[in-house]
Amino acid sequence: MRKNIIFFLIGLVSLSAGIVAFKHNQADFVTIDQQAYRWGELRGQWVVVNYFAEWCAPCLKEVPELNKFHNTSGYPLFAISFDNETDEHMQQLRNKYDMRFPVISTAIPAKLPMEPPKALPATYIIDDHGVVRQRLMGEQSSDNIIKAITRLKGL
């Protein structure tokens, strides 16, 4: 009887530890390429998040500039659809519009440090502590985003 209680308690402690570890390791967001990210892992880096939609002409027009920013700036850039689209549809859009940056899946609710915008396109600059420092509305260029980050960093 005593052994059963000990095994039960060990099992209960193990289960509790497993639940805590699982919750701790859950991703804050996942890209359509199934890459998982946690904001804690991005600490120490300035991050840019861009909201877009397929029906938003300025959103699609800024894609080449976002590609340029992604390829040359050294800052992580993530895009997320304003609409709840499937990962398959988002992959088709990504290919169609030659988006070369990670796109956040909307299949699983993303834990982002901002609410979705009321207008598009919207680009958010998040500082190295995970705090939204600025929202840039309208079509952006790579240079505009870099200038905004430089100004916010006080450089």
Residue-range domain boundaries for the chain: 29-153
Instruction: Report the pLDDT averaged over residues 79-98.
Output: 96
What is the distance between the alpha carbons of residues 10 and 60, in angstroms, rounded to a whole number? Answer: 56
- The Cα 6–Cα 26 span in angstroms is 30
Structure tokens at 36: 């998982």
**Residues 110-153: tens digit of each pLDDT:** 999 999 999 999 999 999 999 999 999 999 999 999 999 999 99
Residue 8 predicted with pLDDT over 70:
no
**Which pTM does this prediction carry?**
0.83
Q: What is the pLDDT of residue 65?
A: 98
Residues 6+ apart with CB under 8 A from 94: 32, 103
Supply the DSSP symbol for 102. -
More confident residue, 61 or 19: 61
Q: Are strands 103-104 and 77-81 parallel, antiparallel or unpaired?
A: parallel
Q: Which CATH class is domain 29-153?
A: alpha beta
Mean pLDDT of the chain: 90
Residue 17 has pLDDT above 70, yes or no: no
- Please enumerate in sequence order all residues whose Cβ is within 8 A of that of 31, keeping only pairs 6 or more positions apart, or say none: 37, 78, 102, 103, 104, 105
Q: Which residues, 6+ apart, have CB-to-CB distance to 43 below 8 Å? A: 128, 129, 130
